[in-house]
Amino acid sequence: MKKENFTLSVYTENNIGLLNRISAIFLKRHINLDSMTASQSEIKNVFRFTIAVKVTEEQVKKIVLQIEKQIEVIKAFYHKEEEIIYQETALFKVDSKLLFEERQIQNVIKNSNANIVTVTPEFFVIEKTGRRREVEALYHKLEPYGLMQFVRSGRIAITKEKMDISTLLENFTEETV
């Protein structure tokens, strides 16, 4: 079976140690993650991990079951690329004098649908949100001018179809511990 990009949505309780527990499942199988992000989900006190990983579908099925088996994991899903809307965000820190010395940099920013989030006399920061290749395209355009700093977030994703978690979560009551 061929390796593909999969995105996992993992709904969990907000407990210390859960990140470790989930990443240990990949570690045990010698699988490297492309990215992992954690945030609040649509339900209060329920967390959502978004994990991007390149494996076979057979592997991802087993991984999802192992993740779901963890006590404080409410539900886990895996999605193929076409089933989700996904984005990444990148920040580029660039020397401010380039804005005046290298005028074409302004066109690069304009044409790439990026935002300038801050400008100081020393540096300015560009924010770009989009697919990985869009972020990378901007990186390659800016890189020749010299980047002071570059950082890219992990993938976040939302499914096109409804996930059967929603009704389950609606029935959740407050619980301690």
Binding site for another protein (CB under 8 A): 12-13, 16-17, 20-21, 24, 27-28, 61-62, 65-66, 68-69, 71-74, 172-173, 175-177
Nearest-approach distance from CB 108 to another protein, in angstroms = 45
Q: Which lies closer to another protein via its Cβ, residue 22 or residue 109?
A: 22
Contact 96, 123 (CB under 8 A): yes
Find residue 118's DSSP bridge partners: 125
Q: Which lies closer to another protein via its Cβ, residue 43 or residue 137?
A: 43
Residue 45 falls in which region: left (phi positive, over 0), alpha (psi -120 to 50) or beta: left
Q: Which lies closer to another protein via its Cβ, residue 57 or residue 136?
A: 57
Nearest-approach distance from CB 72 to another protein, in angstroms = 5
**What gap in Å lies between CA 97 and CA 92, rounded to an integer?**
15
Nearest-approach distance from CB 92 to another protein, in angstroms = 34
Provide the 8-state DSSP code for 114. Answer: -
Q: Which lies closer to another protein via its Cβ, residue 18 or residue 90?
A: 18
Nearest-approach distance from CB 25 to another protein, in angstroms = 8
Residues 6+ apart with CB under 8 A from 19: 36, 38, 49
Strands (E), the chain: 3-13, 33-40, 46-56, 73-80, 84-95, 115-119, 123-130, 149-152, 156-159
Q: Which lies closer to another protein via its Cβ, residue 1 or residue 177?
A: 177
Nearest-approach distance from CB 41 to another protein, in angstroms = 13
The amino acid at 127: E
